[in-house]
Amino acid sequence: MRFRFFIVSLLVVVAGLSSCDQGHKTTQAKSNPVQKKEVTVPVFNADTAYYFVEKQISFGPRVPGTKAHDACLSWLTGKLKQYSDTVIVQQFKARTYDKIVRSGANIIASFNPANKKRILLMAHWDSRPFADHDPDASKHRTPIDAANDGASGVGVLLEMARQFHLKNPGVGVDIVLFDLEDWGPPTDLRLSNEEYWGLGSQYWAKNPHVYGYKAQFGILLDMVGAADPAFRKEGYSTEYARYYQDKVWLQAQDLGYGDYFLSEKGPAISDDHVFVNKYLKVPSIDIIDLRPESSNGTFFEYWHTTGDNMSVIDKESLKITGTVLLWVVYTD
């Protein structure tokens, strides 16, 4: 992964929103004379999101080509069919860094498919085949559970899908779960090509499930389940989609989550949103836990280790992320 830094400017316009533990409603900012329709925002259920994370982990590491991967694919597809209007499983093949052609499956669930105004929500559902940052070198080729790095974002989006099923968001929404995101080269090989990563998002961005697919903006979730997350403003998000990055961060601050959605610039991360920006031209941001104080210098402490299991998942973190996204979708 490559890193760059960008100067982040704050958006001036702040929507006057209020929150409560039950039945959230939008209110009109005093400085804005335009009357806005009052919208009820569903309450994100952290217990359900936690269950969705736990269920993914129960299959074992979701490494493409394994029985665990196949079983989880079947479950994810069935669950999204239960909630959404349409589900497409996009089978594809991609060549990994070691020149081997592997099979992957992107999962696309759509809500209000006829609505031309669309919001794109993304995460990756595969797990890394290498614990190459584990403190125990003997485990560096061990597949990981990837509870935070993958399953947490999927769990949040599944709970959002359940809420969309219960209360139509009005706007069109597409949830895309990418495969073969995390089969990048082990650290000791020192191969730095960013296109070794995010193979599923590269394929989908070049071959979207709908010809000529467009969305107003996109949001990628990556590592959103660890306790006390530090969602700094990721650099490529600032470069490609600053307006929408500021929109989400201001929404989080209005909801009282400014201690987690930090108004600080972070490094630029070669993540799935980069390829969506580059190839599909949908302005997309990455909500990702960035911790420069950790032992790996960038991500949460158990990133790409065998310690990335259910013990690191915090319900409050899932709730924070999901609540912010529900407000973004229902008030857009």
287: left (phi over 0), alpha (psi -120 to 50) or beta: beta
Nearest to 219 by CA among 169, 151, 287, 265: 287
Q: What are the sequence ranges of the domains in the chain?
A: 41-330
Kindly report, residue by residue over 65-106, the tens digit of the pLDDT.
999 999 999 999 999 999 999 999 999 999 999 999 999 999
pLDDT at 37: 56
Local confidence pLDDT in tens for the 332 residues of the chain: 433 333 333 333 333 333 434 444 333 333 343 344 578 999 999 999 999 999 999 999 999 999 999 999 999 999 999 999 999 999 999 999 999 999 999 999 999 999 999 999 999 999 999 999 999 999 999 999 999 999 999 999 999 999 999 999 999 999 999 999 999 999 999 998 999 999 999 999 999 999 999 999 999 999 999 999 999 999 999 999 999 999 999 999 999 999 999 999 999 999 999 999 999 999 999 999 999 999 999 999 999 999 999 999 999 999 999 999 999 999 99
pLDDT digits (tens, 9 = 90+) for 116-150: 999 999 999 999 999 999 999 999 999 999 999 99
CB-CB contact of 25 with 309 (8 Å): no
- Separation between Cα atoms, residue 102 and residue 17, nearest integer Å: 46
Q: What angle do CA 132, 133, 136 make, to 5 degrees?
A: 90
* Residue 205 and residue 276 in contact, taking contact as beta carbons nearer than 8 Å: yes
The CB density around residue 101, as the number of other CB atoms within 10 Å, is: 8
- One-letter identity of residue 160: M
Q: Give the CA angle between residues 38, 119, 18 to the nearest 5°.
A: 30
Strands 172-178 and 101-111: antiparallel
Give the Cα separation of 246 and 262 in Å (integer). Answer: 11
CATH match for 41-330 among 1.10.3720.10, 3.40.630.10, 1.10.10.60, 3.30.930.10: 3.40.630.10
Chain centroid to CA 126:
13
Our separate counts of H helices and E strands in the chain read 7, 10
Distance CA 95, CA 243 (A): 35
Distance between CA atoms of 295 and 303, rounded to whole angstroms?
10
pLDDT for position 38: 78
Q: Sign of torsion, CA 64 65 67 73?
A: positive
HSE (CB half, 13 Å, CA atoms) of 254? Answer: 25
Q: What was the pLDDT predicted at 23?
A: 42
